[in-house]
A = this chain, B = another copy of it.
């Protein structure tokens, strides 16, 4: 499927409410559960999405749109949330993410991007030249992969509790 701005925006808009519906009010033991050492809990993932909102998507789009001499993106810190979420409740993180995402979408919508602008490029620190269209498609896709991850992390906590049904639920062993 080609990326179009209307569908991409529709996906991005839905993520805060989806996370709230999935997670708000669940027991802390489940929000802190992981898939094993060095893997992320739902709580950590929400913090990661917040950090992306602050430092990744819109800031990188701005670099591309400016078309200045230096179009190289700042590398993304995949572990920032381990510091930045400290002391915050999951509910606080969900609210913070919803506010930041609303701000991001207001900025994005305010740009009224043309197809020509979507083809403008920046420089990814690892991949080299990438287009604004690819960046925006990645933003929406990144949300979806983390929603899938959160559901999978929670599902895996019942890997033993489901008994023999585990054979029908291959995601529990993935």
Contact = CB atoms under 8 A, between A and B. Distances in A.
A27 B14 contact: no
A147 B142 contact: no
Interface in A75-92: none
Number of identical protomers: 2
Contacts of A155: 141, 144-145, 148
Contacts of A111: none
Contacts of A134: 161-165
Contacts of A172: 141, 145
Contact of A148 (B131, B133, B152, B161): B152
Contacts of A148: 147-149, 151-152, 155, 171
